[in-house]
Protein backbone atom coordinates (compact mmCIF):
# COMPACT_ATOMS: atom_id res chain seq x y z
CA UNK A 1 0.00 0.00 0.00
CA UNK A 2 1.47 3.30 -1.08
CA UNK A 3 1.43 6.39 1.13
CA UNK A 4 -0.85 9.30 0.41
CA UNK A 5 0.63 12.11 -1.64
CA UNK A 6 0.53 15.45 0.15
CA UNK A 7 -1.38 17.99 -1.95
CA UNK A 8 0.50 21.03 -3.21
CA UNK A 9 -0.73 24.31 -1.75
CA UNK A 10 -2.39 26.65 -4.22
CA UNK A 11 -1.37 30.27 -4.66
CA UNK A 12 -4.14 31.57 -2.40
CA UNK A 13 -3.40 28.93 0.23
CA UNK A 14 0.28 29.90 0.26
CA UNK A 15 -0.68 33.53 0.91
CA UNK A 16 -2.53 32.42 4.05
CA UNK A 17 0.33 30.22 5.30
CA UNK A 18 2.47 31.59 8.17
CA UNK A 19 5.82 33.06 7.18
CA UNK A 20 8.71 31.07 8.66
CA UNK A 21 11.73 32.96 7.31
CA UNK A 22 13.59 35.42 9.53
CA UNK A 23 16.90 36.92 10.61
CA UNK A 24 18.85 33.61 10.57
CA UNK A 25 17.86 33.14 6.93
CA UNK A 26 19.26 36.58 6.06
CA UNK A 27 22.55 35.58 7.68
CA UNK A 28 22.63 32.30 5.79
CA UNK A 29 21.97 34.04 2.48
CA UNK A 30 24.81 36.50 3.06
CA UNK A 31 27.33 33.88 4.24
CA UNK A 32 26.63 31.43 1.43
CA UNK A 33 26.59 34.12 -1.27
CA UNK A 34 29.85 35.60 0.04
CA UNK A 35 31.49 32.16 0.14
CA UNK A 36 30.39 31.34 -3.40
CA UNK A 37 31.67 34.68 -4.70
CA UNK A 38 35.07 34.13 -3.06
CA UNK A 39 35.35 30.66 -4.59
CA UNK A 40 34.46 32.12 -7.99
CA UNK A 41 37.40 34.56 -7.81
CA UNK A 42 40.04 31.88 -7.15
CA UNK A 43 41.00 31.54 -10.86
CA UNK A 44 41.49 35.32 -11.00
CA UNK A 45 43.83 35.70 -8.01
CA UNK A 46 47.58 36.21 -8.05
CA UNK A 47 50.34 37.63 -5.88
CA UNK A 48 51.85 41.07 -6.37
CA UNK A 49 55.47 42.08 -5.84
CA UNK A 50 54.86 42.48 -2.10
CA UNK A 51 53.50 38.95 -1.82
CA UNK A 52 49.92 40.09 -1.25
CA UNK A 53 47.05 38.23 -2.88
CA UNK A 54 45.18 40.40 -5.38
CA UNK A 55 42.11 39.82 -7.52
CA UNK A 56 42.15 40.92 -11.16
CA UNK A 57 39.55 43.27 -12.60
CA UNK A 58 37.80 40.32 -14.25
CA UNK A 59 37.72 38.60 -10.88
CA UNK A 60 36.07 41.62 -9.27
CA UNK A 61 33.35 41.58 -11.93
CA UNK A 62 32.82 37.83 -11.58
CA UNK A 63 32.62 38.18 -7.79
CA UNK A 64 29.91 40.86 -7.94
CA UNK A 65 27.81 38.98 -10.49
CA UNK A 66 28.12 35.57 -8.81
CA UNK A 67 27.26 37.02 -5.41
CA UNK A 68 24.22 38.82 -6.82
CA UNK A 69 22.94 35.69 -8.58
CA UNK A 70 23.50 33.64 -5.42
CA UNK A 71 21.58 36.13 -3.25
CA UNK A 72 18.60 36.17 -5.60
CA UNK A 73 18.63 32.40 -5.99
CA UNK A 74 18.85 31.63 -2.27
CA UNK A 75 16.21 34.23 -1.40
CA UNK A 76 13.94 32.58 -3.96
CA UNK A 77 14.55 29.22 -2.29
CA UNK A 78 13.80 30.74 1.14
CA UNK A 79 10.53 32.14 -0.21
CA UNK A 80 9.61 28.73 -1.63
CA UNK A 81 10.40 26.77 1.52
CA UNK A 82 9.45 29.19 4.26
CA UNK A 83 7.26 31.88 2.75
CA UNK A 84 4.64 32.63 0.17
CA UNK A 85 6.70 31.33 -2.75
CA UNK A 86 7.34 34.69 -4.40
CA UNK A 87 10.15 37.23 -4.18
CA UNK A 88 7.55 39.93 -4.67
CA UNK A 89 5.03 38.66 -2.11
CA UNK A 90 7.64 37.76 0.49
CA UNK A 91 10.25 40.49 0.08
CA UNK A 92 8.67 43.20 -2.08
CA UNK A 93 10.94 42.70 -5.10
CA UNK A 94 9.48 44.68 -7.97
CA UNK A 95 10.53 47.42 -10.40
CA UNK A 96 8.11 50.12 -11.52
CA UNK A 97 8.88 52.45 -14.41
CA UNK A 98 7.30 55.37 -12.55
CA UNK A 99 10.00 55.05 -9.87
CA UNK A 100 12.86 55.56 -12.35
CA UNK A 101 13.19 59.19 -11.22
CA UNK A 102 14.65 57.91 -7.96
CA UNK A 103 17.79 57.05 -9.94
CA UNK A 104 18.61 60.76 -9.92
CA UNK A 105 17.94 60.89 -6.19
CA UNK A 106 20.56 58.19 -5.76
CA UNK A 107 23.14 60.20 -7.69
CA UNK A 108 22.41 63.26 -5.55
CA UNK A 109 22.63 61.14 -2.40
CA UNK A 110 26.04 59.84 -3.50
CA UNK A 111 27.32 63.39 -4.09
CA UNK A 112 26.05 64.61 -0.72
CA UNK A 113 27.42 61.53 1.06
CA UNK A 114 30.80 62.05 -0.59
CA UNK A 115 30.96 65.66 0.52
CA UNK A 116 29.98 64.80 4.09
CA UNK A 117 32.41 61.88 4.38
CA UNK A 118 35.37 63.67 2.79
CA UNK A 119 36.63 65.10 6.11
CA UNK A 120 36.76 61.55 7.49
CA UNK A 121 38.63 60.38 4.41
CA UNK A 122 41.10 63.26 4.82
CA UNK A 123 41.63 62.39 8.46
CA UNK A 124 42.02 58.62 8.10
CA UNK A 125 43.50 58.18 4.64
CA UNK A 126 45.22 61.46 3.93
CA UNK A 127 42.57 62.44 1.42
CA UNK A 128 42.86 59.28 -0.66
CA UNK A 129 40.17 56.66 -1.01
CA UNK A 130 41.53 53.14 -1.08
CA UNK A 131 38.63 51.01 -2.27
CA UNK A 132 40.01 47.81 -3.80
CA UNK A 133 37.33 47.67 -6.49
CA UNK A 134 38.32 51.08 -7.80
CA UNK A 135 42.02 50.27 -7.78
CA UNK A 136 41.56 47.03 -9.72
CA UNK A 137 39.35 48.59 -12.39
CA UNK A 138 41.19 51.84 -13.08
CA UNK A 139 43.00 50.38 -16.09
CA UNK A 140 40.13 48.23 -17.36
CA UNK A 141 38.56 48.82 -20.75
CA UNK A 142 36.06 47.31 -23.14
CA UNK A 143 34.00 44.32 -22.09
CA UNK A 144 35.38 44.19 -18.54
CA UNK A 145 34.41 47.79 -17.87
CA UNK A 146 30.97 47.28 -19.44
CA UNK A 147 30.29 44.20 -17.33
CA UNK A 148 31.54 46.05 -14.24
CA UNK A 149 29.08 48.86 -14.89
CA UNK A 150 26.25 46.37 -15.45
CA UNK A 151 27.12 44.46 -12.29
CA UNK A 152 27.44 47.52 -10.05
CA UNK A 153 24.47 49.50 -11.40
CA UNK A 154 22.02 46.65 -12.04
CA UNK A 155 22.94 43.33 -10.42
CA UNK A 156 24.27 44.58 -7.08
CA UNK A 157 21.40 47.00 -6.30
CA UNK A 158 18.74 44.38 -7.05
CA UNK A 159 20.45 41.66 -5.00
CA UNK A 160 21.46 43.86 -2.06
CA UNK A 161 18.08 45.53 -1.77
CA UNK A 162 16.45 42.11 -1.88
CA UNK A 163 18.65 40.91 0.98
CA UNK A 164 18.94 43.98 3.21
CA UNK A 165 15.68 45.85 2.60
CA UNK A 166 13.67 42.76 1.71
CA UNK A 167 14.58 39.72 3.77
CA UNK A 168 16.54 41.39 6.60
CA UNK A 169 14.43 44.51 7.15
CA UNK A 170 11.14 42.64 7.03
CA UNK A 171 12.52 40.08 9.49
CA UNK A 172 13.61 42.86 11.85
CA UNK A 173 10.23 44.59 11.59
CA UNK A 174 8.61 41.50 13.09
CA UNK A 175 10.81 41.87 16.19
CA UNK A 176 11.46 45.61 16.61
CA UNK A 177 9.85 48.98 16.07
CA UNK A 178 10.23 50.42 12.55
CA UNK A 179 12.85 52.96 13.67
CA UNK A 180 15.02 50.33 15.36
CA UNK A 181 14.63 47.88 12.48
CA UNK A 182 15.60 50.54 9.94
CA UNK A 183 18.73 51.57 11.86
CA UNK A 184 19.87 48.00 12.47
CA UNK A 185 19.41 47.00 8.83
CA UNK A 186 21.32 50.11 7.71
CA UNK A 187 24.23 49.44 10.08
CA UNK A 188 24.44 45.82 8.95
CA UNK A 189 24.40 46.98 5.33
CA UNK A 190 27.29 49.34 5.94
CA UNK A 191 29.35 46.92 8.02
CA UNK A 192 28.95 44.10 5.49
CA UNK A 193 30.45 46.31 2.80
CA UNK A 194 33.37 47.19 5.04
CA UNK A 195 33.98 43.51 5.78
CA UNK A 196 34.10 42.86 2.05
CA UNK A 197 36.56 45.69 1.45
CA UNK A 198 38.28 46.81 4.69
CA UNK A 199 40.05 49.65 2.90
CA UNK A 200 36.74 51.40 2.34
CA UNK A 201 35.96 51.93 6.05
CA UNK A 202 35.82 55.74 5.69
CA UNK A 203 32.71 55.17 3.56
CA UNK A 204 30.82 53.57 6.46
CA UNK A 205 28.80 56.71 7.35
CA UNK A 206 27.77 57.18 3.70
CA UNK A 207 26.80 53.52 3.31
CA UNK A 208 24.82 53.60 6.55
CA UNK A 209 23.01 56.75 5.44
CA UNK A 210 22.13 55.07 2.13
CA UNK A 211 20.87 52.09 4.10
CA UNK A 212 18.62 54.29 6.24
CA UNK A 213 17.22 56.15 3.23
CA UNK A 214 16.46 52.97 1.32
CA UNK A 215 15.01 51.24 4.37
CA UNK A 216 12.61 54.15 4.90
CA UNK A 217 11.58 54.03 1.24
CA UNK A 218 11.05 50.27 1.35
CA UNK A 219 9.12 50.42 4.61
CA UNK A 220 6.80 53.22 3.53
CA UNK A 221 6.11 51.90 0.02
CA UNK A 222 6.05 48.18 0.82
CA UNK A 223 8.16 47.67 -2.29
CA UNK A 224 11.86 47.60 -3.20
CA UNK A 225 11.35 49.49 -6.46
CA UNK A 226 12.36 52.95 -5.20
CA UNK A 227 15.24 51.70 -3.09
CA UNK A 228 16.66 49.74 -6.04
CA UNK A 229 16.67 52.83 -8.23
CA UNK A 230 18.25 54.94 -5.47
CA UNK A 231 20.91 52.29 -4.93
CA UNK A 232 21.57 52.10 -8.67
CA UNK A 233 21.99 55.87 -8.86
CA UNK A 234 24.30 55.83 -5.85
CA UNK A 235 26.48 53.16 -7.49
CA UNK A 236 26.37 54.91 -10.85
CA UNK A 237 28.57 57.66 -9.47
CA UNK A 238 31.18 55.05 -8.52
CA UNK A 239 31.15 53.68 -12.06
CA UNK A 240 31.54 57.16 -13.54
CA UNK A 241 34.46 57.79 -11.18
CA UNK A 242 36.19 54.61 -12.41
CA UNK A 243 35.60 55.49 -16.05
CA UNK A 244 36.86 59.04 -15.56
CA UNK A 245 40.21 57.93 -14.08
pTM score of the predicted model:
0.87
pLDDT in tens, 96-114: 999 999 999 999 999 988 8
| Residue 5 in domain | no
Residue 173: CA atoms inside 13 Å, Cβ hemisphere, count? 17
Query: By the 8 A CB rule, do 200 and 125 touch?
Result: no
Task: Specify if 74 maps to a domain.
Answer: yes
Q: Range of 203's domain? A: 20-244
Q: What is the pLDDT of residue 134?
A: 58
The radius of gyration computed from the CA coordinates of the chain, to the nearest angstrom, equals 19
3-class DSSP state of 219: helix
pLDDT at 202: 78
Domain membership of residue 12 (yes or no) is no
| Assigned domain for 146 exists | yes
pLDDT exceeds 50 at position 50: yes
Residues present in the chain in total:
245
Within a domain: residue 181?
Answer: yes
Number of domains forming the structure of the chain: 1
pLDDT at 11 > cutoff 70:
no
Considering the domain boundaries, does residue 3 fall inside one?
no
How far apart CA 34 and CA 116 sit, in angstroms, is 29
In a domain, residue 7? The reply is no
In a domain, 216, yes or no: yes
Amino acid sequence: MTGAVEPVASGRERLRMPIRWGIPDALIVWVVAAFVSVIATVPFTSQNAKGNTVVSANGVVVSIIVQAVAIVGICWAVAQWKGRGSLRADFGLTLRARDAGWLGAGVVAAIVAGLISQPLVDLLNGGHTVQEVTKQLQDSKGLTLFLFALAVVVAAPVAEELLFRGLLLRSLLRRFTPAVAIVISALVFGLVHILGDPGSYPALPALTALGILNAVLAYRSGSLSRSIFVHAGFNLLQVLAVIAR
